[in-house]
Amino acid sequence: MKIIIAGQDCTKELGGEIWQKAAELKKMTGRAAPPKVSAEIGALALHKAVSDADYLSHFVRLLRYRDAFDTYDFDIPRKPGMVGSLMARIKKALWKLLRYQHDRIAFRQNLINGLFTSAVEFEMAERKRTDDELAGRLDKIEALLDALKEKETP
């Protein structure tokens, strides 16, 4: 692993710390994935928006956080008793056998989701640029109209 920040090789300074934190996370959760998604990037955080533009920018930020899915191991729900235990074991075995197929599908879907999210972000930036350009042109027209009015009034 090589860590390069702003063209500088920072592997010696940061590499050990990153490996240590990853090992701690894996030890805590039993897997390398984060345990839970923060509440600040949940959909309920959208109600804090004060304007339409704020809502839209927050929504796109949430979309970027949530545009991918994973195939990490998960707790399989089971019914109580011997039959429930047996079925849970069968489901776990099947999941291990078929997970590679899910990984392939997830990879492709994550690529598509990322492209769509990028397209939405690009569209927002393009609309903002167009709005700013139109506002500038409108200011120029208003200034010209004010100048014409001043010339007409003696």
49 to 43, 54, 60, 116: CA distances (angstroms) = 11, 5, 13, 23
Q: How many CB atoms lie within 10 A of CB 62?
A: 16
The pLDDT value recorded for residue 54 is: 84
The pLDDT value recorded for residue 29 is: 54
- With a cut of 70, list the residues of the chain below it in pLDDT: 1, 25-39, 154
The pLDDT value recorded for residue 130 is: 96
The pLDDT value recorded for residue 140 is: 96
**How is residue 146 written in tokens?**
């004010």
pTM above 0.75, yes or no: no
**What's the gap between Cα 30 and its chain centre?**
24
The pLDDT value recorded for residue 154 is: 67
Domain boundaries, the chain: 1-36, 67-152
Mapped onto helix, strand or coil, the DSSP state of residue 5 is strand
The pLDDT value recorded for residue 62 is: 83
**How is residue 16 written in tokens?**
């050990």
25 to 22, 31, 39, 78, 112: CA distances (angstroms) = 5, 7, 19, 27, 29
103 to 69, 73, 133: CA distances (angstroms) = 10, 12, 45
The Cα–Cα gap between 31 and 11 comes to: 24
The pLDDT value recorded for residue 44 is: 77
Round the CA-based radius of gyration of the chain to a whole number and report it. Answer: 26
Q: How many CB atoms lie within 10 A of CB 33?
A: 13
The pLDDT value recorded for residue 143 is: 94
